[in-house]
Each structure stands twice: as structure tokens, then as C-alpha cells.
Structure 1
Amino acid sequence: MQKLKYLVLSIAIISSSVFAQEQEKVKPQGHTDQNKFRQMKDLLATPNETRTASGAPGYAYTQQKVDYVMNIRLDENKNQIFGDEKITYHNNSKDHLEYLWVQLDQNMRAKDSKTPDINTENLESPFYGPQSFTNANLKDRFDGGFNIEYVKNEDGSSLSHIINQTMMRINLPKPLAPGEVFKFQIKWWYNINDINVDGGRSGLETFPDGNNNYTIAQFYPRLCVYDNVEGWQNMQFWGRSEFALEFGDFEVKITVPADHVLEATGDLQNPKDVLSKEQQKRYEAAKKSFKDPVFIVTQEEAELAEKGRSAKTKTWHFKADQVRDFAFASSRKYIWDAMAVDINGRSVMAISLYPKEGNPLWEEHSTRVVANTLEEYSKLTFDYPYSKAVSVHSERQGMEYPMICFNYGRPNPDGTYSERTKRGMIGVITHEVGHNFFPMIVNSDERQWTWMDEGLNSFVETLAELDYDPNFITGNLPKDIVPYMGGDQSHLSPIMSQGDYVFQFGPNAYTKPAAGLYMLRHTIMGPELFDYAFRTYSQRWMFKHPTPADFFRTMEDASAMDLDWFWRGWFYTTDYTDIGVKEVKQYYLTDKPTEEAKKLAERYNMNLKDYEGKLIYYAEAENGVVPADAKTPSDFSVLNNYIASLSNDEKAKLKEAPKHFYQVTFDKPGGLVMPIIVELTYEDGTKERITYPAQIWRYNEHEVTKVYKTTKAITSIVVDPDLETADVDTSNNSWPKQEKESQFDKFKSKIEG
């Protein structure tokens, strides 16, 4: 008996265990919070005394200051540039620094540069013409890169240093304490690259007449940023991700051939030494011309100058305070025009330099586009603080520096140009001048977060271009990013990726963030809330180093809008938008209980006969066809009697009773949550637009339902009619369903065709 007892007990235990295991199989598993609207505390850095939870700089925020005094000489005969610089480094941090890091960007073009080695290679073509074969196989690599002659202490003693590709570490004699200043000097030279032959962001452009157009930048050893977030920002420069730099004061003297016209960052200190009396007079006239540019050097004068070649030199002297970089342009071929721009009661000069090869396009548009850009960016951010903005024409460039930028957009040799060339030139000037605001003043880390520079700038550029020409094709609207968003996921990167390794750099760093901000302004937040928050961010971080978290937090802090769902989806993932109309059910009114009503009554032990004549029922129309004898609200005496019992004031508040009822299910095949923008078209042709906030998806991110009770029959329902949300598949956006290509398929067909 005892054995039998234990046997029964063992069987029971085993059975219980098996049952428990079976139960465990069917139990839903636990999970972490994956809701699209969860907060971003897992992604953003913890606020601290240097960067607050509001997105503003904290009371302990610090940044370094670096001042430069430089003497530069341009050798036109050898196409070389020589320089010596005295650098004053202010340690405003709370840290003791054992060494300084200096950027040597020109070393990317040195003969021993590792930059070409990081790119994969293949024989793309089975055959080559003699010129392309020669360029690919017989030419020596361009001998670029800095030749450092010395690195010395202020007293002339040598400083210990080591060069690691595009970075140079200067070993300090003793740690630099907080609040201390270190002064040192560097002497250097390098061969200037031909932009159209050797590539590059700066260099020279050669012309058949033997003249050159020098657009010179990244030309001097520059201090890296040392900040509260990264410490030293000393990531190597591989050619794509741009530059993190400290603010400082510059005094620069540039010696060039005497017949050159030169412009640079900063204010010219010696106009009487380098300009003729006539040029000075014309420039003074330009300061008073707010409508049209004034020529300081005409095309006729430039054409005359380019026929000669002076053996003498002139030295141009510039000073610039609180800038993060310095660049200049020099050539005897330049036409030079300028006009004044009123920035909130303060005059700023808009200036253009261009060879005759840029005309007539450049004299018609360049300086006017510069002026428009300064005006529009100032409205959206802060008043432009510098004295001028200069646009310089070079055939294949689009690059920005404080107060000066280099831009493409060249007409045909006979002076004709296409609308595309004109649009490209207006776009690149707007974009590069706009970079004065981002990142030349709102000084984000371009090496780390390209989108904070290019994306924010491309967004404001879009608004400035549309102000210049309301029909301008910007390429930065939500509809423009659809082909990218709907593309091969293996070749997409989140916006929040370091720029050197992202796929499809242009859409990722420029178009997608710009389109996202446009969407925030026009669809999600509205211009009033967005503009105030964006302006707050811009003004908080003028002449400082913001991070992505500072931008995200400020936009929410200044608008009272929870946007974590948007940042998380649009910036941290490669999800896409696809919202459609899944189903539309039509209903009509009846006084007879429906099957659904009977089931509900049964569940709650209701006897519907007790409520005969007292209830109004919704019945689903079979196949969407409402019976001819369907009742209207006025047919129900119980409703009429109730309304009659109301006071006149209460009756006055009632609206016209609906006669048509629709239950619409919206689904979301795409991963992104977005507002649902719905356009209803009624039987009389009138339309109604309704926007539901993205939070409509908070409980069910796959599908939601809305009910429309109308006095007029609905003939069509369209989701996102103006393509505001970058929906990659519009074939499911309509009811009745319309057979049409999605936006992505249209683009694909256009390319393949």
C-alpha cells in the first residue's frame, strides 16, 4: 500500500510538472517596453552641470578658445602656399591638459596617405581610352600634404610632437592647468592641388588662358576641439566627415600677386594698400545699395587683368573675431560685386567674386541669393552677427567657411544655361552661405554628427529657396526622400550614424533630416511652435558646441511637445512610413435590433423587447449598400421627443443630425508612427481635411479605427493627400481603392525608363 501511495503521488507530481510545462508553453513571454512612444532616456546622455535636461548649456559648461596670427604667401609660379602661424591656446576647461591635438587636413593628400587604401577597388570597365588609362595607371599620385618645417615654443625652443596621418599631437613641456594659456608657433608649406584633377574641398582651378582661381581652405594646422562630451575630438579626416573647430580671433596677412583680387574671412584692415581709389569708392557705394549689387570690379576690367601677369605682390590684411576657421580666395580673373543687406537695422555686405566664365548667371543671381539667404536664416535663427558673406565661383565646388564659401554653377561657354544649372547654382549658394549659421556659429561636431551640420542647414535652405522662388524645386521635402526610405534596408543607415561609414551619404545626412524637420514644422508641430523652439535652440547654442541631445531636448522644452517618438523613429532607425485605408464599413440607422445588439443584450441579460421603441441601432450596410428604407434621425420619435424636452438654449447648441455613418480602419504596414492626415470628399464635391496626432497609434501601432458621422455621403477617403509624411506606398492610401503606382514605384519606373 505504501508503494502504491508513493506511485500515485509520483504520478501526480509528474503530471503536475508536465501540466505546468504545457501551461508554460502557452503563456505569453515577458517583454521590455517596445512602445513607439516610450521615452528616450535609454538613448540620450544623462543631463549634468554642463548640459541641462532642458537642452541648454549648464552653469559649468566650458569651451576652449584658440587665437591665430598668420602670415601666408601664395606662390603662383609653383602653386605652393607657405605659412607661419602663432597660436595662443586658452584652456578654459576644468582639466589639466598634457598635450594638444592639431588637425593636418592636407595630409589626406600626402603621398603616404592611407585615405585611398580604405576604399575597395575593381576594374569597373573592360576598356579605357588613352587619357583615362594614363590617369589611372601612369600618373604619380599628387604630392600633397603639409611639410612641417618646425613646431616651436613661444621662446623659440623646439616642441616635442608626433604626426599620426591627419593629426599631430604636441606634447606640452608641463600640463596646462585650467585657466592657463599656452603659446606656440608652426611653420609649414604644401603643394596646392588642382581641384578638377586631384579633387579636394579647396585648391586651385586652372583656365586655358594660364590663370588660376585659388579657393584656399584647410590650409593651416588647426587645433582640434576639446569639450565636455568627447574630450579631444581627434578622429582622423578620411575626406568625408567635416571639421570640429574651436572659436577664436584671427589676424592674417596674405601675400599674393599684385594684380589679384582677394576676399577672405574677416574685415579688411588695409583697403588703401590693396584697392584702387576707384574700387574703394565703388565699395563705399555698395554699402548704401540695398536693392541691386554694385560692381567693384567689372567684367571688362577683369578681362583686361587676366591678360597680364604681375611680378609684384600685395599683402592683404584681415582680422576676424569669434570665428572657428579662416579661408580665402584669390585670382586676377575675378569680377567683384556687392550690396548691403538690412539685418534688423544693421547693414551686412553680400559679396560675390567670379570669373567671366560664370556670367551672365552669376551677376544676375549670386549676390542677390546671398542677401536673401542672410535675411531668411536670420528670421529663423538669430541676426547674422558678422560683417559680410562672400560667394566665390569655382567650377566644381560647394564648400563653406566663416563669411566665405566656394560654389559651382557654370553656364555653357556661350553664356546659355539650363534651368537645372540655374537652380543648382541658387541652391548651392543658399546652402553654403547658410552654413554660416550651421555649423560656423551653432558649432556642432561635423566629424561625429554630419546631420547636425548638413541636415539642419538643408532644412533652413529649403525655406530660404522657396522664399527666393516659390516654385523652386528644393529636393528636401518629405516626398523627395521616399525612394531612399523605401530602398534596400541593407544599404540604409540611421541618421544617428557617424558620417564616415553611412550608406548613401547625401540622403542620410542632408535630405532625410531636412525632410524630417520640414515635416515637424508643417505637419506635426505647426510653424508657430516649431519656429520658436528652433530659434531657441539656435540662440542657446550660438558660438557653442551642441550635441544631438541638446537639439532634441530644446525642441521639446520650448514647445511642450513630446517628440521622443519622432526622434527615435526618424533619427535612430531606418523604419519607413506606410499608412493606408484597410477597410471602410458603412452603417445606417434602424429601430430593429441587429445581431450584434442581440449578442450584447444576451451577454448582459437584457431583454430588448423591454426597450422596443426606445433604442436606435447602427446596422452595417451589406456590401456597402445602404437600404433605400434606411431611417434618418428625424424618423425616431424617441429622439424627437427627447430633443423637444430640451430648453431653447440647449437646442441651439445642437448641430444638424448626421445621416451617413462610416467606420474606417487605418493600418500601418510601415514601422514609423506618424500623424494620419485624412481628406474626405463628399457627394457635393466639397472636401474636409482632418489630422490625427501620431499618438493615435499609442495602444495599437498596427491599426486604428475612426468613425465619421456626416450629413452628406462620403465619396472618397485619401490618406496623406499632399505627401507630407514620406509615405513609401500610396497605393493603399485611398478608398475606394485606386489602382496607381506608389511614389517609390513611380520613381523606379522613371529611372529604369
Structure 2
Amino acid sequence: MQKIILLVTSLTIPMWFARAQAPTTQHANTRFEQLGPTLPTPNTFRTASGAPGKDYFQNRADYDIKATLDDTNQKLTASETITYHNNSTDALPYLWLQLDQNLFRPDVISRTSQTGGINAERGASLQQLTANTSLAEKDYGQKITSVRDQSGKALKYTINQTMMRIDLPTPVAPGKSVTFSVDWNFKIVDAKSVGARSGFEYFPKDGNYIYEMAQWFPRLCAYNDVNGWQNKQFLGRGEFTLIFGNYKVAITAPNDHVVGATGELQNPAQVLTATQQKRLTEAKNRGDKAGENPILVVTQAEAEAAEKGKATGTKTWVYKADNVRDFAFASSRKFIWDALQPTVEGKRVWAMSLYPKEANPLWGQYSTRLIAHTLRSYSRRTFAYPYPVAYSVHGPVGGMEYPMMSFNGARPEADGTYSEGTKNFLISVVIHEVGHNYFPMIVNSDERQWSWMDEGLNSFLEGLACLEWDANFPAHGIDPQYIVPYMQLDSTQQVPIMSSSDNIPGNTFGPNAYTKPATALNILRETVMGRELFDYAFKEYSRRWAFKSPEPADFFRTLEDASGVDLDWFWKGWFYTVQPVDQSLVKVDWYQANSQNPEITKAEARAAAQRRLNTISKQRDALSKDETVVSQDSTMRDFYNQYDPYAVTDEDRKKYQAYVASLSAEERLLAEAGTNFYTLSLQNKGGLPMPVIIRMEFEDGTDSVARFPAEIWRFNDVSIKKVIATPKKVKQWTLDPFYEIADINTEDNSFPPVARPTRFQLFKQQGRGSSASNPMQQQRQQAPARQGTGRN
């Protein structure tokens, strides 16, 4: 509807403008109040700016470990000497250690199955369900055979499921250290069968194993200013809260195994052949020219020969790693080994992959190059990668991360072909797991409590790195459109992102801990803050908390502190509630300023009158107008039969000139420009306030986008009116035109409403099959002679 507004005085313009923008109901709402009372009170450990305070501390643990891998019985036997440094201001009468392998003990299995099951968020096959049941019948779990002090005297200890408390004869005083040793052994689980984060995979065709060993040694829990001891039980979902230290680890494995581990190999001359050492030197000297492929340190032919030979005897690989929070290793005679040494932020870093022949050709082409790409991409956005190496290992674990070491899935078919989905999974999983070196291996968040602080932040950076790898990569994990189905769920089926890891339902763990926080960060970067402000603030957070242990409040406060943007409303909506984004464009009212120019106003009045008189009766009566009395008898006509009320007179022109003379220059411009004023009636139906982005399509075929910050909802978070002025007439309005705020219902985002067809499928229409999932295989089957086997 067009509404004509008469401009009378200069005072009328701002008053009318204010009335048009006023909310229907004004009331203060808490969505834009500060998070202050919700967040922990700042103190000398963690400041109000989000930075570590002057009294911030973290304890350390240094490890000297000797381990022997029994390839015949799939067993690990080990001993460790630990030096624990108490940097807190508290005397500690006992120490807590994690025994993660106890997750597979019968009593712990019973407890985890009662509280949701092992790795329930990943799903479970019949094989896994059967395997989990049979675990209780096997003698799994860490067998502690000795706990002694530095002098060799036995220490009292208590095992509570996946935790062990060591009682000290004398508390460790602030600033002091204590040294003790632990001996243990355990049977290694079949990782693929039970869906474990580490273990072995058996290859029946050649009778060999791949071992991916993690969570394998008793390791210190974290003690900090927030929780004291973080000794929550390991239930399989909430991952690991750990502290930094220096590691020296000697791994004794079969003589023909290739072993990769956290840290740098200390004795290459004792465990590598002269040829392998020469190849490593060649990889180091080659550099990182664009498109350079890695050097094969162990070729596929050599790995296949080792599979068949199965040499006897053992050798010991010694690795050293400084300032890491954990240690993992992989071992197998099946391993092909390739290496590249790219430059990352001015420093040469080893990128290495270990994988069996079953992973080729996919892994040989992509894995190590993906490592190099990930290190470069993440380092630009956070800090320079500080470690000397990063591994990607293919085996039974689909995706898991440790310092300098990642276990990754994605295996091609037996004929060497693979689907696009398999390729894309490899790209994303390698980037994701190698990216975990930054979060949480260096920015050392509490994974047992807050999965989103490492998974969400890492998934966000993964999405950016995937797009830097391939602009057409389906980076759905950060695309707002793809979180919509989750946010459309009933509120009873969701929990806030700010939920403890073990309290998130298994079927929503992925969206809650990974994609929702990753999407939220992408929206912050693209829509709320802008790339420049966000990138600076995110890098500042990464820099502040590198090699330290941040909490959620430290992240929230740092991003605001470094950007100067108030984001409390955003943290509240996205992280503390399950409300969705659902904006609606209810209607648009169109206003025009009346210029009072008689040439315009009378022409408009004439046209309006003609439209009103153009009824069906008038159209039919016009056919007989010459038969009327007035038409046939001229004496029945007078002045008004000749009068044109819409003709412009000299008096009209004089009045208009006087009116224009009374206006200010600003008012005169507004009156003469013919500006269109549109009042948009908007509703926030979902509850979560977000910026309003509106696209205007004009009658002349051009368009424009107007953006309003989320604070537009500050005084009324339910419904508002917003005035937009434009010299062009708008024919179509569209909310969120670029799908950037995760609006869960776009059907009411257009005005006038845009009709969309409801799709239906013909009964006899041919359905989609799964045969098209691997076009590479289809083509190879059609032309086997040309394509070959694909193995190399």
C-alpha cells in the first residue's frame, strides 16, 4: 500500500522518521546484557581481558619411558620414571594419574554401557556391539605391577576405574618436584572391532598387524586454578586433559617394523638402513618447491617384502619430545614411509606419512602434502608450528590426534579406486587431525570438560584450510546452511554448546561439539565482526594461550578484548542456549514524500481517478455514452461539463513556489528527489538475535544489500520496524539472501512472498542407486586395459 505523507515543516521529518522506526513494544531484554555474572570472576590467575594473569601456573610432568611391543601376543609391557613439578601454591599430598586402557576393563565397560556406551556418538556396527560384549570376557586394562619412589620404595596407590591415586609419604610442596616410577602392561585391543581410539588392526591376507598406540601409559592428570585435580573418569567421549612435559621414550619392536612417534628420532643409525637415511637426507635437501612430491623413505615394494619376510629379533627406536602434553606412536612392518620438509613460517618442518599398501594410491598422492598445507594454513591464523615434525598414520583408527602424531582413515577399494567422498574424507580428516596439533595440543584446553574448545575451533580452521586446498571443497562443517537441520530439532533433543562433554547425547555430539561452534565462528568472521577484526582477535587468543590451558571465559573475553566488539549477546545465544535463528519479514509498507509539485500531484490524482472509474460497469456504459441526454442536448451542459479538476493552474504554481521557498535546502532535496521510504516489519521468531541482512531488487533490474547489526533487536527482541529509504522502487525484498545466519525457515524471508513448488516424485521414476558412488571404479571396469590397477 502506498501512503502519501505531507511534509509541512522541518520538524515533521525527524519526528515521522522516529515514529516509523520505533518498535511496537519497547522493553529492555537480557539478551544484550553482559555475561559478567555468568562467567567466572576475573582474578590474578585469569584476567578480565581473557589473558593469563600474573599468578597463572601450570604443573609439569617429565617422562622417561621404556616400552616393548609384543607382536605375537598383541601386548605392551613398559616402565616409566616420572618427575612431577608442582608449580602451584598448594602442597599436594597425592597425585592423580589416568589409566585410559582401563576403559576396557569389565567393571568400567559395565559402567560406560549404563551411561551411554563407548564412543556412542560414532555409532556402532553389529561387529562393534559384539566386540564390546566380549571385552568383558577378556583380560583387558592396565595391569600395574609396581609403583615406587625414587629410592625404590613401594608407594601406596588406589585404582578407581580409569584413575589412579598415588599417596605420597610427604606432600609435594609448592615449587618442588617428586620423582617416582610405574611398571605396567596390557593387552592391546582390536581398534576397528571396538571403535577404540587406539589399538591394532589385523590383516588376514598377509598375517600382519598395524599398531596405533595412544592412551597407553599412566599419565598425570591436570591440577589447576579452576578445578584443582581434573580427575573425571574417562567414559570414552570426553577426551583428555593433560599437562606439558619432556619425554624420552624407547620403543622396542620387531626388527622389521617401522616406528613413528611423537618427537624426533634419536638413533637413526641404529634403526634405519643406510638407504633409508640417504632418502631422508634427500627429502631434507629437496626443500618445498611448489608441487614437490615427498620422498619415499620406505617404498611399497620394500614394505611388501617385509610383510612376507617377517624377520626375527627386535630393535629399539628412541624418540625425544620437548614441551608436549602427550605421546603416541605407530608400529608395523606394513608401513610405507614418505617424507617432505616444507618451510612453515620460515622454519623447516618434517611432514611424514606412514601407511600400508592398502591405502594406496590415495595416501601416496595426498597425505604428506596435506600435512604441509595444514601446517602452513593453521600457522598463518594462529602461531608458527613449534614442533619439528608432524605425522599422518593410516591404520584402524578413523581419526584421532596427539602431539606431532595423527591417526587417519579413508581407504580406497581393493582395486585402487575410490569415491569422491572417500577422497574428500581423507582431505578433511588429515587436515582436521593434523590441525589438532594447535588445538588442543598447544592451546591446551580441557577436553574432558569442553569438547567444543578443541573440536569446534579446530573444525572451523579445518573448513578454512579445506577451502584453501580446493575452492570447490564441500566445507559443510562451517557453512551456516548445514547446521540448520540440527538447529531445527526440538529443544528437548539439544543441549547448549556449553555442556560437559559426557553430558551431550551421542546422536547430537557431532553437531554440538564440532559443527555448531565451527559455524558460529564462521558467522562471527563473515557477518558479525568481519574478517580483519576476527582474524586478529583469534590469533591473539591463540598466541596468549599457546602452551597454556584456557577456559571458555578466556576465549570469550579475549575475542572481545582484542576486537573491541561486544559479543556477549552472541555467546549467550549460540553457546548458552539452544534457541534457533528464525527471522521473518512480515510485511513492507511503502511511503513516498509528497513534493506538492502540482505537475506531479495532479497527474497522480488524475491517474488514480481513472483507475477508480475503470470498473466493468463503466467500460460497458462507455459503449452507449453517445446516447445520453447531455451528449445529445448541448443546452444541458454548463461550466462543470468542461472543467478539468486535474489541470495545473497559475495559482497552483504560485502556491508551490511559495512552499518550496519555505523549505531548507535539505528538506527541498528530500521533497524533490521522489525518495521511496519502506517500513519493514520484522519478527525474531526463533529467539536468537542476529544481524538483519536484506536484499532489495529494484524495478530497473539492479539490486542492493542493506546490513543492520544484531543490536537492532536490543529494545525489542520479538518484533521491530526498520525504515529504508531509496530513490529506486523496490519490487522484491529478501532476508538473509546469502544464507549466512543459519535461519531455520526461509519460507517467510521474502516480500512479496515467493511461491515455491512442492516437489513430488513420479511413482515410476527411476530411483537413485549407489552404483554412481565410485565413478572411478565404473570407468576402470569399462576400460581395464587402459586404466591398470592403480597401485603403486
TM-score range, shorter chain: 0.7 to 0.9
- Asked if 1:71 is matched to 2:98, the reply is no
Q: Aligned with 1:731: secondary structure?
A: coil
Instruction: State the distance in 2 between where 1:710 and 1:314 align.
Output: 78
- Asked if 1:516 is matched to 2:520, the reply is yes
Q: Aligned with 2:533: secondary structure?
A: helix
- Asked if 1:560 is matched to 2:560, the reply is no
Instruction: State the distance in 2 between where 1:660 and 1:233 align.
Output: 62
User: 2:57 maps to what in 1?
Assistant: 62
Q: Aligned with 1:87: secondary structure?
A: strand
Which amino acid in 2 is paired with 1:73?
T
Alignment deviations for residues 450-492 of structure 1 (CA, whole Å, 9 cap, x no partner): 1001001101111001100111112212111100011021110
Give 1:117 deviation, angstroms: 3.8
**Contact 2:106/2:135 (8 A) holds in 1:** no
Q: Aligned with 1:284: secondary structure?
A: helix
User: 1:367 maps to what in 2?
Assistant: 368
Q: How does 1:650-661 map to 2 (within 5 A)?
A: 657-661=673-677
User: 2:192 maps to what in 1?
Assistant: 196
User: 2:537 maps to what in 1?
Assistant: 533
Instruction: State the distance in 2 between where 1:656 and 1:372 align.
Output: 59
Instruction: State the distance in 2 between where 1:249 and 1:169 align.
Output: 22
User: 2:13 maps to what in 1?
Assistant: none
User: 2:762 maps to what in 1?
Assistant: none
Give 1:171 deviation, angstroms: 0.4
Which amino acid in 1 is paired with 2:228?
G
**Contact 1:336/1:354 (8 A) holds in 2:** yes
RMSD between aligned residues: 3.2
Q: TM-score, normalised by structure 2?
A: 0.81
Structure 2: runs of 5 or more not aligned:
1-26, 118-124, 615-645, 649-654, 760-766, 769-792
Q: Aligned with 1:392: secondary structure?
A: strand
User: 1:693 maps to what in 2?
Assistant: 709
Provide closer, same or farther for how the CA distance between residues 673 and 72 of structure 1 changes in structure 2, counting only shifts above 3 A: same
Instruction: State the distance in 1 between where 2:372 and 2:671 align.
Output: 53
Q: How does 1:398-417 map to 2 (within 5 A)?
A: 398-417=399-418
Which amino acid in 2 is paired with 1:323?
V
Q: Aligned with 2:320: secondary structure?
A: strand
Which of 503, 506, 509 pairs up with 1:505? Answer: 509
User: 2:496 maps to what in 1?
Assistant: 494
Instruction: State the distance in 2 between where 1:440 and 1:518 align.
Output: 22
Q: Aligned with 1:420: secondary structure?
A: helix
Which of 77, 99, 112 pairs up with 1:104? Answer: 99
Instruction: State the distance in 2 between where 1:672 and 1:157 align.
Output: 60
Q: How does 1:114-193 map to 2 (within 5 A)?
A: 114-119=110-115, 141-193=137-189
Structure 1: runs of 5 or more not aligned:
1-31, 122-128, 593-611, 744-749
- Bigger drift between 393-402 and 523-532 goes to 393-402
**Contact 1:76/1:257 (8 A) holds in 2:** yes
Instruction: State the distance in 2 between where 1:60 and 1:80 align.
Output: 44
Which amino acid in 2 is paired with 1:163?
I
Give 1:198 deviation, angstroms: 2.7
Alignment deviations for residues 209-233 of structure 1 (CA, whole Å, 9 cap, x no partner): 1100100000000000000111000
Which of 203, 207, 212 pairs up with 1:207? Answer: 203
Provide closer, same or farther for how the CA distance between residues 238 and 131 of structure 1 changes in structure 2, counting only shifts above 3 A: closer
**Contact 2:450/2:501 (8 A) holds in 1:** yes
Instruction: State the distance in 1 between where 2:659 and 2:565 align.
Output: 42
**Contact 2:60/2:245 (8 A) holds in 1:** yes
Which amino acid in 1 is paired with 2:480?
P
Instruction: State the distance in 2 between where 1:389 and 1:636 align.
Output: 79
Q: Aligned with 2:178: secondary structure?
A: strand
Alignment deviations for residues 288-329 of structure 1 (CA, whole Å, 9 cap, x no partner): 331221111111111111111111111000110000000000
Which amino acid in 2 is paired with 1:417?
Y
Instruction: State the distance in 1 between where 2:393 and 2:720 align.
Output: 54
**Contact 2:240/2:448 (8 A) holds in 1:** yes
Instruction: State the distance in 2 between where 1:441 and 1:427 align.
Output: 20
User: 2:633 maps to what in 1?
Assistant: none
Q: How does 1:145-544 map to 2 (within 5 A)?
A: 145-208=141-204, 209-287=206-284, 288-290=286-288, 291-476=292-477, 477-503=479-505, 504-544=508-548
Provide closer, same or farther for how the CA distance between residues 111 and 705 of structure 1 changes in structure 2, counting only shifts above 3 A: same
Give 1:641 deviation, angstroms: 3.6
Give 1:565 deviation, angstroms: 0.2
Q: Aligned with 2:196: secondary structure?
A: coil
Instruction: State the distance in 1 between where 2:550 and 2:329 align.
Output: 27
Alignment deviations for residues 374-423 of structure 1 (CA, whole Å, 9 cap, x no partner): 00000100000001110001244200000000000000110110010111
Instruction: State the distance in 2 between where 1:661 and 1:651 align.
Output: 15
Instruction: State the distance in 1 between where 2:674 and 2:338 align.
Output: 66
Which amino acid in 2 is paired with 1:249?
N
Q: Aligned with 2:365: secondary structure?
A: helix
Provide closer, same or farther for how the CA distance between residues 384 and 130 of structure 1 changes in structure 2, counting only shifts above 3 A: closer
Provide closer, same or farther for how the CA distance between residues 511 and 120 of structure 1 changes in structure 2, counting only shifts above 3 A: closer
- Asked if 1:673 is matched to 2:689, the reply is yes
Alignment deviations for residues 478-510 of structure 1 (CA, whole Å, 9 cap, x no partner): 111100011021110000000101121000000
Instruction: State the distance in 2 between where 1:59 and 1:303 align.
Output: 56
Structure of higher RCO (CA pairs closer than 8 Å, 6+ residues apart): 2
Identity %: 51
Instruction: State the distance in 2 between where 1:399 and 1:139 align.
Output: 22
User: 2:625 maps to what in 1?
Assistant: none
Give 1:285 deviation, angstroms: 1.4
User: 1:598 maps to what in 2?
Assistant: none
Aligned residues: 678
User: 1:21 maps to what in 2?
Assistant: none
**Contact 1:142/1:198 (8 A) holds in 2:** no
More helix by share: 2
Instruction: State the distance in 1 between where 2:740 and 2:454 align.
Output: 23
Q: Aligned with 2:309: secondary structure?
A: coil
User: 2:86 maps to what in 1?
Assistant: 91
Q: Aligned with 1:36: secondary structure?
A: helix
Instruction: State the distance in 2 between where 1:741 and 1:238 align.
Output: 48
- Bigger drift between 335-344 and 235-244 goes to 335-344
**Contact 1:730/1:741 (8 A) holds in 2:** no
Instruction: State the distance in 2 between where 1:375 and 1:138 align.
Output: 44
Instruction: State the distance in 2 between where 1:626 and 1:478 align.
Output: 48
Instruction: State the distance in 1 between where 2:49 and 2:130 align.
Output: 58
Instruction: State the distance in 2 between where 1:307 and 1:548 align.
Output: 52
User: 2:723 maps to what in 1?
Assistant: 707
Q: Aligned with 1:428: secondary structure?
A: helix
Q: Bigger radius of gyration, 1 or 2?
A: 2
User: 2:42 maps to what in 1?
Assistant: 47
Instruction: State the distance in 2 between where 1:653 and 1:298 align.
Output: 78
Instruction: State the distance in 2 between where 1:703 and 1:42 align.
Output: 27
Q: How does 1:582-597 map to 2 (within 5 A)?
A: 582-590=586-594
Alignment deviations for residues 266-296 of structure 1 (CA, whole Å, 9 cap, x no partner): 0100011111111111111112331221111
**Contact 1:728/1:742 (8 A) holds in 2:** no
Q: Aligned with 1:112: secondary structure?
A: helix
**Contact 1:588/1:626 (8 A) holds in 2:** no
Give 1:115 deviation, angstroms: 3.6
Which amino acid in 1 is paired with 2:420?
E
**Contact 2:594/2:671 (8 A) holds in 1:** no
Give 1:118 deviation, angstroms: 1.8
Give 1:654 deviation, angstroms: 9.0
Q: Aligned with 2:476: secondary structure?
A: coil
Instruction: State the distance in 1 between where 2:134 and 2:318 align.
Output: 42
